[in-house]
Structures are given as structure tokens and as C-alpha cells.
Structure 1
């Protein structure tokens, strides 16, 4: 008598898993960010009271390698009205904000112009400059932001030379290269907060804290100034940020900038 046959359990298993069904545990073994399919650039609508982004290229398309940053900033060129800026990396955004806070700067533009050049393999390529700053005396400067690993490659230097050669002379007086590694995560965070406080001015608190810093014979931490300043601690704290942004006080921006930070009067 033939035995009753049972269906093979493995035969009922799926031989593949649909992409949307895959679950990758990024907490226990795959520590890198999941790679997502490319998405088109974000298009911002009108924002009441805010000037629109006016760069020649919108760099906000989704990327697995760069951190896109949207921000608002103010410059004398726009009568201090807030304006949208879009940066292709956090270091690029921090470089722009640091320039915005300088009293010598008249205007800052993100993604200001695109140039076309031929690389060392004679392939025609395009490049959009990261930033353009205009000083109050009219001097214009383009800024090339790139991480240190890339800057150390001879190929990158040849690319920079080709970009400089392809950039029209009337576009800017010069171009400088900024090492993105100089903008550590903590430095970027500090610059973001400095930018916030700079555009929340309090001249009375700034003057009071500056006079306190000059009159107190010795202080080591930021908090050492607070008992001597004739303003509330929150106002004194914000004033410290503004004075550091102005260059009147000095602190290590690669460390957390708070009341326990070591600060000193700049020479």
C-alpha cells in the first residue's frame, strides 16, 4: 500500500523576497545609512516675508553621500530681509553662515554660477560653485568646499585648476578652497547657534558683558562673567555668543560652547 505523500515544506517557500519586503537591521550590524533611490530636488513654494532661493542650481536632490541643508540668512545686500539658502553639505552651510556673521561681508550667495570645463580625460563637465561672498568694499570671492580626503588627491587639484581657468574673470576677484574637515560637527552646531543669537540683537547686553569682561581681573569660564554682568544670565549667555561671533571674545568652537566653556578676551 503506497504511503501518503506530504508536500515538501520547502516547496512552499518563496525563492525571492520583493524589494519592499526586505528589512535591513541598521542598528545591529549595518551601521551605515540605508541607500535610498535618487529623488528629485525639492521645490520650495513662496514663504511669506522670506526671499526665495536664487542660486542657479538647486542641490537638494536626495543623495547617499552628502547632507543637504536648507536655511534662512540675512545680509546688507537684501536690506537684512531673510532669504532662503540651500547648501549641498553641512560644511558648506557653516562656511556661508560664518561669512554672513562677518561685519566685512555685504552679500553671500549659495550656488551662484555654473561653469563648463574639460577634465584631464577631455570630457566636458559642468561645475556649480558652492558659494560667492561679496565684501563691503566690492571684492568678490568664490569658495570651493571639499573634504580633506578629496583635497589630498592630485586629481582634485587638477579639477580645481580647470574650474578656475573656466570661471570668467568678471565673476569674482579670486577663489579659495575650504577644507570641510575644519568644520567639525560641534563647530557647525556652535556656528548655527551663533547665527541665531547674532540675528536676535541685544546691544545693551553686549555692551554690558563686554565691559564686564574688560573689568573683571580674572575669569576662566563663561559662567564666571555672569554674576558681575548687570543683565540677566540668559541675556549674558546670548551676548557671549554674539561677542565670540564678532571676534571680541575667543573660545574653542570645536567644543560645546556653553557656560562651562573656557573663554578669553581676544588679543
Structure 2
């Protein structure tokens, strides 16, 4: 049996006496696109923070490719092949678009803390950075400060930084939030391309994006998973409809919106 990319076992997170994540068990298969949905306050971002190491679990275990990463620091988890984006765009606004992407791959390219090296002379780094800029559609914006990009372009750049380190597990937290429909459509195609052959985990409120991209969907309500299944079965799941999607007809409309 193939080891899942991510496995959560009785995962819990308390803030004081308030229990936010309540015994979550979940397996996310290698090479799949997995969406986590649920109402506001369900604990989706907290779950992301636990998996990526920003928060330490109050109980339970987190496994990445079969290795227990519970309580490890974010940079340690990143070096084991997991990279994530955030709800709020997280870039270096005064650096060029190209420099942002290049910074994202320094460690994985083996340059670590060799400050004596002149990065402009590292041809392999330059070529790979330019390849990523082509992939995310920002090659023609290469030399401008990242802070002057449009909002949608900044989100695309953050995705580029996320994949720059070569991680095989990518986590995207509301990647299309605040975008117009045309921008969302472009973002979906970008996410589809960059996640090919990788494991994608995303939190997303736009059900059109979720049902378009996801192979599996997990529904989190008040810190508990109430269902994990294919998009079609989630759409017709009565417990999910009652807790989040509404009727089957409403779920259809949300997915098609």
C-alpha cells in the first residue's frame, strides 16, 4: 500500500480551553489535489498552520511521507518537501519579481548560507527562476518591483515562490480570494499546471474552484471532519448540505458560479 503524502492521526489544537481542531483523522494521497472546505470559523486555517508547522499540535500526530513531523519548525518541514502560501499575500515588495522567485529556491538549489557567492553569477539558479516566471505568466514583469504588481499577479508570484523550492507537497490557502471571475479562471489554470505530478492541498471558499480542481474534498465543521469524498459524492452528501453547501441544487449553483 502506498504511503499517503500527508496523514493526520487524532490531530487536536487548543487555544486555552477552546478546542479548535477536535481529533482530525485524514489521509491525503500522493499526487492528488485535495480541497478542505467548511464554514467560517471551522478551523481550516488552523489545520493548515498545524500541518506546515506554524502551530504545534495539542495532541495527535502529523506525518509527511510517513515521517512524523508533529511539532517540527516550519523551515524543517519545508526542507522535507512541503511548501505553502498564505491567505495574505506574502512577498518582498521592494525586490524584483525575478529576485522574489530566486530567493525561494536558494536553499533547495544547495546554496544555503554561502554569502560569499554572487547569486547573479549562478546560471542554474537564473535559468530555473526564469522558467518559473514563464510558468506563472510573469516573465514580462521580471524586473519590476513585486509591490507594483496587480493583486492577481502578486498571488501568482506567491504561487511561484511556493513552488520555487521544488516541494512535492504544495499547500495553498485561499489562492483565489479577492479575484475577479476572469482572474480566478486564470489562477485555476495556473494551479492546475503547477500541481501536475505533485500533491496539492488547498483551502478555498469558491466552490467553482473546488469542484473544478479537486480530486477529493474534506469538509471541516467546528474543528471536526464530517466527510471526505469525491466532489460528486460531497455535492450530494446530506450532512454536508446541512452543514455547509445547502441543498443539492444550491451546491450545484455554487459549483457552477
Quickly name the TM-score band, shorter chain normalised. Answer: under 0.3
* Higher RCO (Cα < 8 Å, 6 or more apart): 2
Q: Larger % of strand: which? A: 2
Q: Larger % of helix: which? A: 2
| Structure of greater Rg | 1
Give TM-score, length-normalised by structure 1.
0.22
Give TM-score, length-normalised by structure 2.
0.23
